[in-house]
Structure 1
């Protein structure tokens, strides 16, 4: 039977914020926020898998009801792409049709995000979908000590900028066949817009962590 699974890839090593994935945020280890989001969507997600090379992460994941796939050392390096961890998980499971990728470093998501996104994914027969957020900043490049505006003209108002979007990392949905072909996002991927403060949370440093804590308390 075809099914939809959630995969949360979580490595043990973190140079800029040691043990960040099990650091407590709002009373829970960071990875648990993504596990609980998946568990809140059991009408869509059949199984939740955590891919990790770390014993502590494994114990926490099991404690909160996720299944764990032990990630080999050769797939756990700093420069190893996420897709290789997803492929490894799929190599151990049969009959998977869709994969919901949840990144532990993006712990907060609007409650109805997956329901809305998965509906679009199915109704549009997508092979992949990812979340984006509109950017309102003025970007430019510096070439030979000269500033060159990229998405605006000097003096132009911010509200008149041509819309640009960034990949916020909150959610990815992909066909398993696409991942096995070494991609998470295809050229035809659907860009699902999320305009929410949580879209600006991506934890990699202590400052990111502190901002996430502040934002969560502000939204409670």
Structure 2
């Protein structure tokens, strides 16, 4: 049976929040949170890799215990999809890899047992791909011709009576390498693992996101 590895893509170019991946979050580089999280699960995964084109990011990755994949600059553009980083990493590693756990550096905080539980579900159900979702309790609608048209509720309906809707929270993705080779990380057939936790609200793209993450981290017991 092939290995299960974690890959954390972390390119250097970040226009909205410069040097985002190594910006200090409560004194620790943002990237390091995902590395440290993966390393606490070495009973479930075999290796932890960071894929990057940036020397400073690579040094942080090595310092915190990850292995480094040197990603070519042409695979690090703003519009470059994550799948190309995963495919490149698998080509460089060139080993019998069965399953990839994708961790995004911009989602630094995860429930302690999430990865363990997710891999248990993945293996027990013999899945090809899994991704994490959370329930959204907002009353959503569209604005058409300057009028608000409710989408998931009727005017006056209580929030607790809404039909459940879910969003991708980005905490983790688990995918068989056979799917990655077909340019798929997850799709409509993938298993949605429901995670309802305050950490699912954190996805860092702006300074405001960063400050919110610091607030949650400082006030969390995990």
Same fold (TM over 0.5): yes
Say if 2:126 is the partner of 1:145: no
Residue of structure 2 equivalent to 1:130: 131
CA distance in 1, matches of 2:121, 2:187: 16
Query: Unpaired segments of 5 or more residues in structure 2?
Result: none
TM-score using structure 1 length: 0.98
- CA shift, 1:92, in A, is 1.4
Alignment check: 8 A CA contact 1:21 1:29 kept: yes
Residue of structure 2 equivalent to 1:64: 64
Name the SS for the 2:215 alignment partner: helix
Residue of structure 2 equivalent to 1:212: 213
Name the SS for the 1:92 alignment partner: helix
**Runs ≥4 in structure 1, deviation > 6 angstroms?**
none
Residue of structure 2 equivalent to 1:45: 45
Residue of structure 1 equivalent to 2:117: 116
- CA shift, 1:151, in A, is 0.5
- CA shift, 1:218, in A, is 1.1
Residue of structure 1 equivalent to 2:99: 98
Residue of structure 2 equivalent to 1:21: 21
- CA shift, 1:188, in A, is 1.8
CA distance in 1, matches of 2:20, 2:74: 21
Residue of structure 1 equivalent to 2:2: 2
The CA deviation string for residues 170-210 of structure 1, in whole angstroms up to 9 with x for no partner, is 01000011011101003321111111000000000000000
Residues paired across the two proteins, number:
220
Name the SS for the 1:14 alignment partner: coil
- CA shift, 1:74, in A, is 1.1
Query: Unpaired segments of 5 or more residues in structure 1?
Result: none
The alignment yields a C-alpha RMSD, in angstroms, of 0.8
Alignment check: 8 A CA contact 1:117 1:192 kept: yes
- CA shift, 1:63, in A, is 1.0
CA distance in 2, matches of 1:77, 1:145: 37
Alignment check: 8 A CA contact 1:127 1:186 kept: no
CA distance in 2, matches of 1:140, 1:195: 23
CA distance in 2, matches of 1:42, 1:26: 25
Larger CA deviation: 187-196 vs 126-135: 187-196
TM-score using structure 2 length: 0.97
CA distance in 1, matches of 2:26, 2:2: 36
